Amino acid sequence: MDKIAVLTSGGDAPGMNAAIRAVVRTAGFYQLGVIGIMRGFHGLIHDEFIELHPRSVADVIHRGGTILKSARSTEFLTPEGQAQAVKNLRNAGVEGLVIIGGDGSFRGGMRLQSAGINVIGVPATIDNDIPCTDYSIGFDTTVNTVVEAINKIRDTATSHERIYVVEVMGRHSGHIALYAGLAGGAETVLVPEVDADLDDLCRRIVGGYELGKAHSIVIVAEGVGGDFQTGRNMEESSAFQIGDYVKEKTGFETRVTVLGHIQRGGNPSAQDRIIASRLGARAVELLKEGHGGHMVGVVHTDIKATPLEDALNQQKQVDLEFHRLAHILASQ
């Protein structure tokens, strides 16, 4: 094997640049050429290829975002788009591809693997919803970003003795909400994986007030929705609708904060840089050894390779112990 390529795809995540750096530097160590593909699968189809050298990734380990950019590509869902992608890779002499992204990006990678291009997936999404790895690149940084925001909200919530509903990202999963809710000392964490009972939420808030709590902070994962125990079908439920319900039922002053895309940026944490460096380097070694069709993940403290088709047939579960513990610790 003489040459590999690397791309980033899906929602960007802090630490992607550290992973790109590890791919390029490890490839250089093994005398492999590296092509950087701009804008994910869109750039793969439109031949947006750049040569990367060990110096190309100087001074990026600490930067959020991705120097290769990312873009959604509906073209890649077509056979013509996939054929063009394979043709471009072959024309460039690329024999292996590292895909840094989420499960949707890995599904695209499986199509390239079927066409004979060896692909290794590196899990990178702030949602941390990729199975076969304890952590995806970006998750730790995002949890820290949310905890910093909760700390700031806690100050004003205490000053004005208010209820705050804080919506966090996570797409259809509650990993960010659970970790940040526990670390941030939130009174309640609402996640898609656990049916939300708004009347129970209100009882907890009133109970906290009677215990002398100066405020309550409710973390809501953006994927929370559907039928609440109140019997009200809140299909498009959001933090705002939950906030209105709490205010109406408890009479307490309530405010809502939707953290949004600040959760996607920022300098990656040390943990994310270490995970990114380990996974990026292992991906290159697997390609060099002739392997493809796998993702790499960190499991406990080891780096583990899992066939993509096995990984993509699983769903990563949230740790409901975090949910139970957060509520125990905030209930007193």
Point out which residues bind ligand F6P (CB under 6 A): 11, 125-127, 169-171, 222, 264
Q: Measured at CB, which residue is nearest to ligand F6P? A: 11
Are the C-beta atoms of residues 5 and 92 closer than 8 Å to each other? yes
Buried b (16+ CB within 10 A) or exposed e, 33-52: bbbbbbbbbbbbbbebbeeb
Nearer to ligand F6P, 178 or 330 (CB): 178
Alpha-carbon gap, residue 84 to 44, rounded angstroms: 8
Nearer to ligand F6P, 88 or 145 (CB): 145
Minimum Å gap between C-beta 103 and ligand F6P is 10
Catalytic residues: 127
Phi, psi at 68, each rounded to 5° = -90, 0
Q: Could you tell me the smallest distance in angstroms from the CB atom of residue 96 to ligand F6P?
A: 26
Are 7 and 97 spatial neighbours (Cβ–Cβ below 8 Å)? yes
SS3 state at 324: helix
> C-beta of 289: minimal distance to ligand F6P in Å?
31
In sequence order, the 6+-apart residues with CB closer than 8 A to the CB of 44 are 7, 37, 73, 76, 85, 88, 89
Q: Which amino acid is at 208?
A: G
127 or 193: CB nearest ligand F6P: 127
- Rank residues 170 and 184 by Cβ distance to ligand F6P and give the closer one: 170
Write out the E strands in 233-301: 233-234, 254-258, 294-299
Find the shortest distance in angstroms from Cβ 170 to ligand F6P: 5
